């Protein structure tokens, strides 16, 4: 990905994130989150993580944020009424963030930088040898394409089978939990 | 065969635990406890049959044949190469003693079934009895001093429970406390003695003890005296004898079991065990032996004198027990422990008989204990009366009874030593028939002197059967066919040779009985009043007024200071105040503000990053 | 092409924004959104590491596996969390954290 695209998507993500905490209206905040996640999805794509990028848009921007909006409208939230701003928590919060960012910069300035290894057709073709010949993955790799979805699927069902099952159970539990929680208690 | 001794030891314990935790106040408790006592008696009898004979020389080559059935000890705790074992030592001494303990124990249990029938806390009483049986078994079977000491204390504790059985009575509660404290005084010396002995021999196991040649006689004397302190406490010798008469506040069967036959004999048993375990020591040379002999002799004398002026039937017996224990201790002091143990063996039967007989009388007379309120009981309760008479005959060493043989041997030992103690012992031999004649004449003959005695009736079979059995044993346990069960048996036991000693003892017997008969036959109140004896030489009063008041008050003040200021004020109060103020302080932290918590979490993360990355 | 540190910087900044939102905002729904931002920031660094540390010439898919699981669990978490917020609103008629101080000691 060209560097300027990286900066554009980064700026979109960070500005969207900043807008989330700046806007008073929850709906605006939610839409800012959508913008932020779109930028993030762009960054994912730039990192050749196509599947994750798509998931980010489908699940987060599509499902989760719609759920947020749905709840905001369900609760019929107005703009936050102005409250007397208290300085101490604000300063403390900002101090915390500044401390964190300075630590981050410090760590990054110390750690050695790294350039992304090339993912050009030659490299991909060379990687094809690690997969059964004639299968989809090997074919795509030989053709110089990155079969992202197939590779993730391969790993998911070979190396992460049990966690996947457990994840299914977690989702089920969450579903049941949500149903129980949102049932109106009868008096 | 090897598991039998363990069953013998732990059966009463299991019964105690089951009774205390599972059965609680169930009506089953007395029966379970009694069944266990009978079962232990059967086991003790089985163990008596020889299985593995080893010749074992007693002190000075007295040639005791001991049987060791090796029971592998359990390592209870280990410190480096030093082991605290729970082991069982089975030899003639311990198995014989076991027969006495379990035999008297079983009979007392049976007797108690009737005696305590209407008691409210029957279950607690029988649980206590079972626990006592466990502790006593432990002392007898112990293979090392630590175990002896543990069970020694447990015996003290269970006797505390049983003496204080009627704790609602202040006198009973006080007596329990007194017994426990007196025992503690002796136990302190005992513990020091054990540690010294360990320092000298390097082992606590009886079978492995050997005294190195370089240890001086003085040191050994000191050790023996310290260990003797324990016996003084437990066997109620002068000057710690005061607890035993007071312990008569407990139920009478308890007095029979603990304060006549078993627990008080433990001191003598332990002394003899020590003498056996230190085979190389010539005990004659030790100053300690003389001290022990004199303590025993004086106790015998003083206790017999006090017994002549007591009115409470149980107290007379208690002082007579003291006196007889004095005999045994004296025998051990003369290094004639076998004679002492033989006397212990016979004494256990007839003194248990006398106490149980007294219990039957008290039961029949509606808890009347003053002999001057009794009288004429022989006609009303013939079985009890005759059994009691048999016990009396044995106690006063009537020729042909068991007591005669055993006491004769002690007098022999005293005579051989050439010590003036022989004449002390002979005088005690006059006093014993005197006070027993007094007791029997006043309580059982003549006319009844109160209504409660007038309405007395013969007790039920649960009570008189044990009495009858004990009466048979009292008369015949001196003869060869029964005395084989005795823990230790001197040569010529059960034989009779007419010599100086026999003449003196027969003379003493006749003198004592005649004096008692002449003085007390047909009297309605005590014709002799000697305040000094009646008040027990003022020893109790002295303890009360001097020792207890000053020591106790000073101690109480110190303890109060510690308790009130240091512990209550500073430690407990200080801790609670610190906790309260810290809580008040920290309460502010718990603001309930979500963001506050998030902030704290963030600060924590910042610190974690700082310490992991930048340090 | 951007380097690893660029990605980590951007990811860290997004995390910082999320943190600031959690600490500063009083609307519990916004706080919740900011939590999602922080999760996503973590995802970004995971994907970046996956891309920059290749295995056999391909991105390290273990990292992306983790991202996959984080997203899924986050979805479940959002569902439950929002249900709790709804229940909270029903009970208290507010979602302003300053008014929710019943944990105060």
Could you tell me the pTM of the whole model? 0.63
pLDDT digits (tens, 9 = 90+) for B278-333: 766 677 777 888 888 889 998 999 888 888 888 888 888 888 988 889 988 888 88
* Residue numbers in A near C30 (CB within 8 A): 20-21, 26, 29
Contacting C residues, span 58-77, partner chain A, CB-CB under 8 Å: 58-59, 61-62, 64-65, 67-69, 71-77
DSSP string, B99-129: HHHHHHHHHHHHHHHHHTTT-TTHHHHHHHH
Complete DSSP assignment for B399-414: TTSHHHHHHHHHHHHH
* Contact yes or no for C98 and B593 at CB 8 A: yes
Phi-psi region of B488 (alpha: psi -120 to 50; beta: other; left: phi over 0): beta
Alpha-carbon separation of residue B42 from B8, B26, B258 (angstroms) = 9, 26, 20
* Chain B residue with minimum CA distance to C97: B594
Q: Which of C19, C31, C104 sits opposite B590 (nearest CB)?
A: C104
| Cβ partners under 8 Å of residue B436, min gap 6 | B320, B392, B395, B396, B516
> Is A84's pLDDT higher than 70?
no
CB C50 within 8 A of CB C64: yes
Residue B598 is predicted with a pLDDT of: 87
B483 confidence band (pLDDT: 50, 70, 90): low
**C-alpha–C-alpha distance, residues B593 and C97, integer Å:** 7
For chain C, the average pLDDT equals 90
pLDDT cut 70: percent of chain B above it? 93
Q: Do B603 and A100 count as a contact with CB atoms less than 8 A apart?
A: no
Calculated CA dihedral for residues B344, B349, B351, B354, nearest 10 degrees: -170
Q: Are B187 and B156 in contact (CB under 8 A)?
A: yes
> Omega before B239 cis (within 30°)?
yes
Compute the distance between CA of residue A90 and CA of residue A21 in angstroms, rounded to an integer. Answer: 13
Question: Chain C within 8 Å of B82 (Cβ-Cβ)?
Answer: no
Residues B220-239: what's their mean pLDDT?
86
Query: Does B609 sit within 8 Å of A89, measured CB to CB?
Result: no
User: What does the pLDDT average to over A65-93?
Assistant: 80
Q: Does A90 touch chain B (CB under 8 A)?
A: no
Q: Where are the alpha helices (DSSP H) in chain A?
A: 3-22, 26-46, 50-55, 65-75, 87-110, 121-127, 136-142, 148-158, 161-182
Closest Cβ opposite residue B595 in set A89, A103, A106 = A89
Domains of chain A, residue spans: 1-77, 120-187
Contact, B292 vs B332, CB < 8 A?
yes
Inter-chain residue contact C72 with A167, CB threshold 8 Å: yes
Closest Cα in chain B to A88: B596
CA-based angle C29:C30:C33, to the nearest 5?
A: 90
Domains of chain C: 4-99 (1.10.287.3510)
Task: Return the residue matching tokens 């089953």.
Answer: B28
Q: Is the pLDDT of residue A33 over 90?
A: yes
> Which residues between 130 and 169 in chain A have a beta carbon less than 8 angstroms from any beta carbon of chain C?
130, 146, 151-152, 155-156, 159-160, 163, 167
Res. B60: pLDDT tops 60: no
Does residue B419 have a pLDDT over 60? yes
What is d(CA B138, CA C105) in angstroms, rounded to the nearest whole number?
Answer: 57
| The length of chain B, given as a count of residues | 615
Write out the two tokens for B483.
Answer: 């005395």
Q: A154-168, B459-473, C26-40 — which is least confidently predicted?
A: B459-473
Does pLDDT of B610 surpass 80? yes
Local confidence band at B73 (pLDDT 50, 70, 90 cut-offs): confident
N- to C-terminal Cα separation, chain A: 60
pLDDT(B528) > 80 = no
Average predicted confidence (pLDDT) for chain B = 83
Q: A1-77: what fold?
A: 1.20.120
Can you tell me whether residue C24 is helix, strand or coil? helix
Average pLDDT in the B386-392 region?
90
pLDDT of residue B66: 47
Q: Do B614 and A89 touch (CB under 8 A)?
A: no
Mean pLDDT of B257-279: 82
Question: Does residue C97 belong to the interface with chain A, where contact is any CB pair within 8 Å?
Answer: no
Residue B286, SS3? coil
Name the residue in chain B with its Cα closest to that of A93: B599
Point out the residue among A56, A71, A108 whose CB comes nearest to the CB of C85.
Answer: A71
Residue B422: predicted pLDDT: 86
Among candidates A72, A56, A70, A62, which has minimal Cα distance to A13? A56
Q: Render pLDDT for B163-217 as a digit per residue (tens, 0 to 9).
A: 888 888 888 888 888 888 888 888 888 999 989 888 888 888 887 777 777 778 8
Q: CA of B602: which chain A residue's CA is closest?
A: A96
On chain B, the residues whose CB falls within 8 A of the CB of C104 are 590-593
What is the reported pLDDT for B222?
87
Chain A CA closest to residue C28: A26
Predicted complex ipTM? 0.92
Spacing of C-alpha B383 from chain mean position: 28
Indicate whether A57 pLDDT > 50: yes
Chains that touch B (3 or more CB pairs under 8 A): A, C
Determine contact: C13 vs chain B, CB below 8 A.
Answer: no
Q: At residue B56, does pLDDT exceed 50?
A: no
Is the pLDDT at C35 greater than 90? The verdict is yes
Question: C19–A100: do the CB atoms touch at under 8 Å?
Answer: yes
- Which is nearest to B595 in space by CA: C72, C34, C36, A28? C34
Chain A residues in contact with C1 by the CB 8 A cut-off are: 1-3, 6, 115-116
Q: Do residue A21 and residue C17 have CB atoms under 8 angstroms apart?
A: yes
Q: Give the nearest chain A residue to C87 (CA atoms).
A: A182
């Amino acid at each position: 990905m060209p560097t300027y695209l990286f900066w554009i998507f980064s700026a979109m993500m960070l500005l969207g994130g900043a807008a989330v905490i700046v806007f008073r209206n929850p709906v605006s905040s939610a839409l800012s989150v959508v913008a932020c996640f779109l930028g993030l999805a762009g960054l994912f794509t730039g990192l050749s993580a196509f599947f994750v990028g798509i998931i980010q848009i489908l699940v987060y921007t599509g499902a989760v944020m719609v759920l947020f909006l749905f709840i905001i409208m369900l609760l019929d939230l107005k703009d936050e009424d102005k409250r007397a701003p208290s300085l101490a928590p604000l300063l403390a919060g900002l101090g915390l963030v500044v401390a964190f960012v300075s630590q981050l910069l410090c760590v990054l300035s110390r750690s050695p930088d790294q350039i992304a290894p090339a993912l050009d057709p030659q490299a991909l073709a060379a990687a094809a040898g690690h997969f059964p010949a004639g299968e989809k993955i090997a074919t795509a790799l030989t053709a110089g394409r990155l079969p992202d979805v197939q590779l993730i699927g391969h790993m998911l069902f070979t190396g992460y089978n049990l966690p996947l099952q457990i994840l299914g159970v977690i989702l089920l539990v969450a579903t049941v939990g949500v149903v129980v929680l949102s049932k109106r208690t009868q008096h | 065969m090897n598991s039998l001794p363990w069953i013998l030891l732990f059966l009463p314990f299991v019964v105690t635990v089951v009774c205390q935790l599972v059965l609680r106040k169930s009506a089953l408790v007395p029966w379970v406890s009694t069944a266990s006592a009978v079962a232990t008696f059967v086991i003790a009898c089985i163990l008596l049959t020889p299985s593995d004979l080893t010749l074992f020389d007693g002190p000075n080559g007295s040639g005791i044949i001991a049987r060791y059935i090796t029971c592998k000890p359990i390592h209870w705790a280990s410190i480096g190469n030093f082991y605290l074992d729970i082991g069982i030592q089975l030899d003639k001494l311990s198995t014989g003693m076991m027969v006495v303990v379990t035999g008297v124990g079983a009979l007392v249990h049976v007797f108690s079934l009737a005696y305590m029938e209407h008691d409210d806390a029957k279950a607690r009483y029988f649980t206590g009895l079972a626990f006592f049986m466990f502790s006593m078994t432990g002392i007898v079977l112990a293979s090392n001093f630590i175990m002896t000491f543990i069970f020694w204390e447990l015996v003290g504790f269970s006797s505390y429970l049983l003496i204080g059985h009627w704790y609602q009575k202040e006198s009973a509660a006080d007596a329990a406390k007194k017994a426990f404290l007196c025992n503690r005084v002796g136990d302190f010396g005992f513990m020091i003695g054990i540690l010294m002995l360990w320092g000298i021999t390097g082992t606590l196991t009886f079978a492995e003890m050997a005294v190195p040649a370089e240890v001086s006689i003085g040191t050994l004397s000191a050790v023996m005296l310290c260990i003797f302190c324990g016996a003084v406490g437990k066997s109620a010798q002068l000057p710690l004898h005061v607890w035993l008469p007071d312990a008569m506040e407990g139920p009478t069967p308890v007095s029979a079991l603990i304060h006549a036959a078993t627990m008080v004999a433990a001191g003598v048993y332990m002394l003899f065990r020590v003498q056996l375990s230190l085979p190389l020591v010539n005990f004659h040379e030790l100053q300690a032996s003389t001290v022990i002999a004199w303590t025993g002799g004086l106790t015998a004398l003083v206790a017999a004198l006090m017994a002549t002026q007591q009115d409470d039937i149980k107290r007379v017996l208690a002082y007579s027990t003291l006196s007889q224990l004095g005999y045994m201790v004296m025998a051990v002091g003369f290094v004639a422990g076998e004679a002492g143990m033989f006397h212990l063996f016979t004494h256990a039967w007839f003194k248990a008989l006398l106490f149980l007989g007294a219990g039957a009388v008290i039961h029949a007379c509606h808890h009347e204990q003053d002999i001057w309120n009794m009288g004429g009981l022989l006609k009303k309760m013939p079985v009890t009366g005759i059994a009691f008479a048999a016990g009396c005959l044995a106690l006063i060493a009537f020729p042909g009874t068991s007591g005669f043989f055993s006491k004769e041997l002690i007098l022999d030992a005293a005579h051989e030593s050439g010590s003036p103690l022989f004449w002390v012992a002979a005088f005690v031999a006059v006093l014993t028939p005197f006070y027993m004649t007094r007791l029997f004449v006043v309580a059982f003959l003549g006319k009844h002197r109160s209504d409660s005695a007038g309405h007395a009736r013969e007790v039920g079979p649960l009570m008189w059967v044990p009495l009858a059995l004990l009466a048979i044993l009292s008369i015949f346990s001196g003869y060869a066919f029964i005395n084989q069960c005795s823990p230790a048996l001197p040569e010529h036991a059960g034989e009779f040779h007419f010599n100086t000693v026999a003449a003196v003892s027969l003379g003493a017997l006749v003198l004592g009985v005649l004096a008692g008969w002449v003085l007390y036959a047909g009297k309605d109140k005590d014709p002799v009043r000697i305040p000094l004896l009646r008040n027990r030489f003022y020893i109790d009063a002295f303890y009360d007024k001097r020792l207890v008041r000053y020591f106790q008050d000073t101690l109480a003040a110190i303890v109060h200071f510690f308790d009130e200021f240091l512990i209550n004020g500073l430690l407990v109060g200080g801790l609670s105040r610190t906790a309260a103020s810290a809580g008040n302080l920290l309460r502010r932290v718990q603001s309930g503000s979500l963001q506050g918590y998030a902030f704290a979490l963030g600060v924590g993360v910042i610190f974690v990053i700082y310490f992991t990355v930048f340090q | 092409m951007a380097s690893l540190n660029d990605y980590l910087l951007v990811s860290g900044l997004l995390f910082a924004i999320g943190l600031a939102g959690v600490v500063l905002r009083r609307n519990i729904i916004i706080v919740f959104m900011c939590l999602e931002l922080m999760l996503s920031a973590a995802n970004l660094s995971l994907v970046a590491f996956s891309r920059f540390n290749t295995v056999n010439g391909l991105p390290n898919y273990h990292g992306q596996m983790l991202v996959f699981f984080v997203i899924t669990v986050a979805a479940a978490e959002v569902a439950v969390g929002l249900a709790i917020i709804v229940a909270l609103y029903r009970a208290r008629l507010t979602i302003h954290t300053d008014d929710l101080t019943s944990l105060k000691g």
